[in-house]
Chains A and B, each alone.
Chain A
Amino acid sequence: MKNNNLAEKELIVNMGPQHPATHGVLRLVLEVEGEIIKKCTPYIGYLHRGVEKLSEDLTYVQSLPLTDRLDYLSSMVNNVGFALAVEKLVGINVPERAKFIRTIMSEMTRICSHLVWLATHALDIGAMTVFLYAMRDREYLLELFEMIAGARLTVSYSRIGGVRCDINDEFLDKLGKFINEFPDRVEEYETLIDRNRVWLKRTKGVGVISAEEAINYGLTGPVLRGSGVYYDVRKFFPYDAYDQVEFEVPLGKNGDIYDRYRCRMLEFRQSARIIKQCIEKIPSGSILAENAPRIRMPESPLKIDKQDINFEIYTEDKQIESFIEKFPEVYASVEAPRGELGFYIVCDNSSKPFRVRVRAPSFVHAAVLPKLCEGSLIADVIANIGSIDIILGECDR
């Protein structure tokens, strides 16, 4: 009797854009043969809001709140990234206190973001309990954000040249208390899932990507480090106060989902370590640089000193010199919870940026999905999406 007709037939499964496990609006078209995926085509762009185009029509200060809406789980880091790029462009030196505050905030955001990742990723694979515990801790941190910035998610806390408002002792006390307890909490989470047989079966050896391939695909953050490649923007090109604190960069070995999970769990502890050192070391002083563009300045142009631009020209064209002087450009990146978030800004000496480019880690990571999914089972697609931790708001911009 022939009953394997179905297995021979190729079937197209449309997953998303509305699907709880795609963490936003990602659409995957899966060509399956039985349970095995033959081809996976991601479709993105459902959340495209034209942030890059909008920034060209707004002043630098006005563009800053737009970055909150990119990766809405780590808005603090996005703000810092954009502010860093503009500071580099203008040549502003940020005061030490502001640098430490930013570092504390960035690491708090990393913990927050990884907690959401842990909660939802575990939920997707079938471990319900962690969700509630992770959300409990995240709530505590969000309340701290609210205390300082007045908002929980879209904080717009960083300013070009510093931060918006100073932190107080109450905040530091509360944060210190949390940070002392937090490593134990992480251990709690690990006992919940680390020895869970279902968890191990679904993560070990699944979604493997080798170190060479990870570099080839341009992956960053925990996804790259899970494959054992040592690259962290905080160590390679230190910004803010990262060169004044000690921390390690956890690396994986096999490049599977389990290693990426381990990397993030170890990053929790390193983030707590960084925050602890920052609380001890934080100096007093001002929080905004003297020459920072103020919020009420919008229409005044952003002038770049022509002396700062060095160039050598090898063409006959005489107009090129003035062209180069008119359009200085910078690229600055931060280590966002998901990977390298870069801002490439071209300035035309007016009050508005000429071009803003956001190099979003989620966009790059979404591109690797076909590579991870093809040849594996349908159920592993969910695990793969969870492990690369994409936020579609940032992916589509």
Chain B
Amino acid sequence: MNLTDIVKKIKDKFPQEILWLTCFREEYSITVKKEKIKEILVYLKKTPSLEFDYLVDVTATDYLGFREPRFDVVYHLMSIKYRHKIRVKAQVPEEGCCIDSITDLWAAANWFERECFDMFGIMFTGHPDLRRILMPEDWNGFPLRKDYPVKSALGDKEWETYRELKETSRGWKENEK
């Protein structure tokens, strides 16, 4: 079964859920509504002719200012038996930022979803242990959101002490001469 047929099959099964399909560099991705994401993934995993039994990755993307709903939760699936891959993306809005957890389908999803929560603040309902994973527990904000700054809020002020130190040291050096 090639990927075009697979995508067609999924589309026939969930006509209401699928928003659009894309194919870029021979990679198929399906964008779906978030409500039935678990049903779709169960279908992909359990159907004998598809058998996407391997969860490669779960992550998210923030399209702030480009699209509503704001987030995409991105699942990469693979079938070890048939050697095909597919990408499923579920749209998550900023208001009510939650999606069903898939930890009971794949144990691998546990830490992936924790990271997603840590970095984007997306809640995974039904997750057994949703804590921050990479950032400290008392951290404010979600680093990978687009409105989170790369540089600290202090900006160049942070380096003021250093600059002063450099100036004084220049003074010392001139005195030495």
* Residues in A lying within 8 Å of B, measured CB to CB: 44-45, 48, 50, 52-54, 56-57, 88-89, 91, 213, 215-218, 229-231, 236-237, 308-315, 319-320, 323-324, 326-331, 333, 340, 342, 344, 346, 354-355, 357, 359, 363-364, 366-367, 371, 396-397
* B27 interface hit (Cβ, 8 Å): yes
B57 with A357: CB separation less than 8 A? yes
Count residues of B near A (Cβ-Cβ below 8 Å): 44
A53 with B150: CB separation less than 8 A? yes
Cβ contacts under 8 Å, B110 to chain A: 367
B87 with A331: CB separation less than 8 A? yes
Q: Chain B, 19-42, contact with A by CB distance < 8 Å: what is the 0/1 string?
A: 111111101010000000000000
Q: Chain B, 37-77, contact with A by CB distance < 8 Å: what is the 0/1 string?
A: 00000000000000001111101011100110000001010
B133 with A44: CB separation less than 8 A? yes
Cβ contacts under 8 Å, B27 to chain A: 329-331
CB distance from A394 to the nearest CB of B (A): 12
Cβ contacts under 8 Å, B85 to chain A: 237, 331
A216 with B134: CB separation less than 8 A? no
Q: Which residue of B lies closest to A91 (CB)?
A: B25
Complex alpha-carbon distance, A359 and B76, angstroms = 10
Cβ contacts under 8 Å, A216 to chain B: 106-108
B80 with A344: CB separation less than 8 A? no
Complex alpha-carbon distance, A366 and B110, angstroms = 12
A88 with B25: CB separation less than 8 A? yes
Q: Chain B, 159-172, contact with A by CB distance < 8 Å: what is the 0/1 string?
A: 00000000000000
A329 with B24: CB separation less than 8 A? yes
B134 with A355: CB separation less than 8 A? no
B133 with A359: CB separation less than 8 A? no
Cβ contacts under 8 Å, B61 to chain A: 346, 354-355
* Residues in B lying within 8 Å of A, measured CB to CB: 15, 18-25, 27, 29, 53-57, 59, 61-63, 66-67, 74, 76, 80, 83, 85, 87, 106-108, 110-111, 115, 119, 132-136, 143-144, 148, 150
Cβ contacts under 8 Å, B143 to chain A: 50, 53
Interface of B is mostly: mixed
Interface of A is mostly: mixed
Contact of A326 among B66, B107, B108, B134 (CB under 8 A): B66
B150 with A54: CB separation less than 8 A? yes
Going nearest first, the 3 A-B pairs with the smallest beta carbon separation are A218-B108, A45-B134, A367-B111
CB distance from B34 to the nearest CB of A (A): 14
Interchain residue pairs with CB less than 8 A apart (27):
A45-B132, A53-B148, A89-B25, A215-B80, A216-B107, A218-B108, A230-B80, A236-B83, A310-B22, A310-B23, A312-B20, A312-B21, A314-B19, A323-B67, A331-B27, A331-B57, A333-B56, A340-B56, A342-B76, A344-B57, A344-B59, A357-B57, A357-B74, A359-B56, A359-B57, A364-B111, A367-B111
A44 with B134: CB separation less than 8 A? yes
B150 with A330: CB separation less than 8 A? no
B136 with A45: CB separation less than 8 A? yes
Given contacts A331-B27, A355-B61, is CB(A324)–CB(B133) below 8 Å? Answer: no
Q: Which residue of B lies closest to A331 (CB)?
A: B76
Contact of A48 among B25, B54, B134, B148 (CB under 8 A): B134
CB distance from A4 to the nearest CB of B (A): 33
Cβ contacts under 8 Å, A397 to chain B: 134
A311 with B80: CB separation less than 8 A? no
Cβ contacts under 8 Å, B66 to chain A: 323, 326-327
Q: List 18 other contacts, CB 8 Å, given A330-B27, A364-B108, A367-B110.
A: A44-B134, A52-B144, A91-B25, A215-B54, A215-B80, A309-B23, A311-B20, A314-B20, A320-B20, A323-B63, A324-B20, A324-B22, A328-B24, A331-B57, A331-B76, A340-B56, A342-B56, A363-B111
Q: Which residue of B lies closest to A317 (CB)?
A: B19
